[in-house]
Amino acid sequence: MRSGNDGPMKSASFLETGPQRMGISESVYYDIFASRFGELAHADEEVWKRISKRMDDGDGRWLKALAGEWLIRDLAGLGPVPSALAEAFAETVVFGETTLKEAKKLDVIPFVIPVNRPGCAAGQLLPCWGVRGAEAMPGSFSTDGREGLQVTPASFVPSGVDAGNSWQLGAGLAERILEDGRSDLIGRIARDWVVSGEVNDQERVIRVRMGNKGKVITGRQWLLPVDNLGGHHRECGVRNLQDAWVQFTGEGTLADGEQLSFPTSSDLDSVHVLASQAIRPMIANILRVRPALVSLWHSSNEEKSKCPAEMIREVVTSLRVREIFGHEVEVRLRLLPDSDINAAEQVLQAEGLGRAFGKPVLFDITGGNYLMKEAVSTIARRNPSIWRIYKEFGLGEHEVIGLRLSNGVAGSFRIVDSDPDPRIDWNFLSRSPDRTKGESDDAATLMKGIFGLRASIDGNRAE
């Protein structure tokens, strides 16, 4: 994933020139160098040849920054550098009191964290090194017992920066990269991400104090605790180290077991349902959410899809449901192709489901055939606002499974109704009709079973 900064050649052309040549102060120059940490490492060999010709023009901190870029390039296998530079940088300190020559013998992973900058409008980015196998280094942050991994600022950054515990998430990712031998990720974590989060003994990622860190302007992707989300367009929220690894790498599945409460109508844009003969759990999900708008998607199959959709509409628009909801419910029936996935996707796109909404959209995929579910899944990959839910056999009567995608990565979670409405017979809705006993669902039967009503579908009780 590329950052939103300038392309590598343009950035490299700027950063290969020292502050004296740029005619700007060292503090401004190094702020820019810190924000573009990892970019020169990706530059082509011609840039590094030009740098080798300017070595005598640079000051000490500029040379330390260049040596760090060389180290990233070497660790990530991004390409060769002129042998003259390797020799020139050999004794340059890149972190603590460790020279480049010594650093190459250690396990080292670079990453960037945000830190507060007291008295300033915005915080700053702090390039760091996660180092394993070194003696204790002055100025390092606590290892927090992480198998001896020390986290220390890059040597060209001004000293005395207080990072608190927000470096721990970056340290956790650094350890995973080392453990898995993923040198292919080194360039990406250095250049494309800014990471902040405290990690506890259960590897949960905990909220950190942001202060003016959140006002840092950067094209990098942010990786933050979910409780710190809200300040950036390009941000990923995580609850544990596994989530962080998946969001960073784009590989695997978000950790299961996350539990959320059922959203309400004020939390949602709308509810969509793939209608089928599994009527009861679909009605249950609608009754829990109490939406103002429901779209019932059905196929051309009258018995298995269209009639169930009409039955659901009849129940949801009844007087009794309006009384419980406290508002009117608009229910739309929509035809969705069930044998042509491209046609189904086009229909969903035409409904506007391919674009992001301000609020989540709940899509119940308990029903529908395989192609219909796949069409919804394809649309969901384009629209992170869509949360898919389904009722899994064996779940408690107040639970459903949820699926969502974040940055193209799938994640599952449980949605639990912790305060079920006592006016509704949820046990009835969690059971299927016993076909062996001749049981079947129609609107009147459903109303009686759900609400204990013995009268007409409009919800008026019989005497």
CB-based contacts of 145: which residues, under 8 Å, 6+ apart?
Answer: none
Phi–psi pair at 383, nearest 5 degrees: -125, 100
State the helix-helix crossing angle for 8-15 and 26-35, rounded to 10 degrees: 150
> Which CATH number is 260-451 given?
3.40.50.11700
Token pair recorded at residue 276: 């089928």
Three-state secondary structure call for residue 431: coil
Give dist(CA 317, CA 320) in Å, integer.
8
Contact indicator for 30, 73 with CB cutoff of 8 Å? no
pLDDT at 142: 66
β-pairing, 399-406 vs 330-335, is unpaired
Query: What letter represents residue 236's amino acid?
Result: C
* Half-sphere exposure (Cβ direction) of 369: Cα atoms closer than 13 Å: 14
Query: What letter represents residue 215's amino acid?
Result: K
pLDDT at 13: 53
| pLDDT tens digit at each of 463 positions of the chain | 333 343 333 444 555 665 555 555 666 666 777 788 888 888 888 888 887 776 665 566 777 888 889 899 999 998 887 777 777 788 888 888 888 889 989 999 999 998 887 777 777 888 999 998 888 777 787 654 445 788 988 866 665 566 778 899 999 999 999 999 999 999 999 999 999 999 988 888 988 888 778 788 788 888 988 788 776 557 777 888 888 887 788 776 555 555 566 677 677 778 999 999 999 999 999 999 899 999 999 999 999 999 999 999 999 999 889 888 888 889 999 999 999 999 999 999 998 887 766 678 899 999 999 999 999 988 887 777 788 998 876 778 888 888 876 555 566 777 888 788 999 999 899 888 887 888 888 888 999 999 875 434 444 433 3
Give pTM, 2 decimals: 0.59
Where are the strands (E) in 227-287, listed by range?
Answer: 235-238, 258-261, 270-274
Give dist(CA 114, CA 404) in Å, integer.
28
From the list 412, 92, 15, the residue with the least C-alpha distance to 253 is 412
Give residue limits of the domains in the chain: 8-90+103-249, 260-451
Give dist(CA 146, CA 224) in Å, integer.
20
Give dist(CA 97, CA 211) in Å, integer.
30
CB-based contacts of 91: which residues, under 8 Å, 6+ apart?
Answer: 99, 100, 101
pLDDT at 227: 80
Give dist(CA 172, CA 175) in Å, integer.
5
Token pair recorded at residue 403: 């699926």
pLDDT at 10: 41
Q: Where are the alpha helices (DSSP H) in 96-236?
A: 100-103, 168-180, 186-191
Residues pairing with 389 in the sheet: 364, 402
pLDDT at 315: 93
